[in-house]
Amino acid sequence: MPSVSDPKLKISPDKDVPSAHTLASELNPDELDALRNALRSVRDLGLSGEHIEIGTAAGGTLVQMLKTFAGGTLPPFWVVDTMTYFHDQLATVKRNLTNNRLDPDSVRFFTMMSGRAFIEAQRNPPNAAFLFIDADHELHGVTRDLQWTCFLQPQGILCMHDYGPGDRLNGVTLAADRFLKRNPHFKKLGLTGSLLVLQKTCSIPRLEVSRLEVYRAEILRQWIKLKRSFRKRWRRAAKG
């Protein structure tokens, strides 16, 4: 599988990310089960398009997803990640796959910002069956990544991690709730831990997330940051 990379990306090697050492999934066991069930239902529906993970960390969840197809036909897998989460991230993801007897060449890597990968993907649009969003968790980042839903085929499944209902300053929640309000052709299949599972019921004659929506989220990011910082101070003060 050819990989595409952005030479301008800078690596930040100082960050200590536990999954970089354990190579494990950042999902908890229940969330992983729910993700695997979603993959199985996509397979049972006979949807064979691209399976896309946006944000892979050490590839722990990727390994689990690929293993779901052991003994059967592997659908095309795409991974979109800047690979700057920790030092040597791409090599680590590939090592994780190899350690699990999975072929890194069976995955197409887009080593770049997901926004750029989206533009890249538009040139030859995938007919995706499965989309897992778990990259930038801020409102503008998630909104930008939700643009990828235009590539999902009807009945395709969208999973989002770190959804926290009730938290009005959680970027994933804000983005997902607004997305669902504006896109009633997506139905909620379940929420396990913070893993939200949705299904696209049909195609629509417009993009699910317009450029204007992305701009709106970018403008709101400072306002949310400010509100979060007030909330933190208020909680600290309330504790005494």
Positions that interact with ligand SAM (CB under 6 A):
19, 25-27, 55-57, 60-61, 80-82, 84-85, 113-114, 134-136, 141
Under DSSP, is residue 77 helix (H, G, I), strand (E, B) or coil? strand
Bridge partners, residue 133, by sequence: 54, 160
- Shortest CB 28 distance to ligand SAM, Å: 10
Q: Are 61 and 38 in contact (CB under 8 A)?
A: no
Nearest distance in Å: CB 168, ligand SAM: 21
What does the alpha-carbon distance between residue 134 and residue 157 come to, in Å, rounded to a whole number? 14
Our CB check for ligand SAM shows the closer of 100 and 201 to be 100
Min CB(80)–ligand SAM separation in Å:
6
Give the nearer residue to ligand SAM in terms of CB position, either 193 or 204.
193
Strands (DSSP E) found in the chain: 4-5, 51-54, 77-81, 107-111, 128-133, 152-160, 186-192, 195-200
| Nearer of residues 37 and 84 to ligand SAM, judged by Cβ | 84
22 versus 98: smaller Cβ distance to ligand SAM: 22
For the CB of residue 18, give the shortest distance to ligand SAM in the complex, in Å. Answer: 10
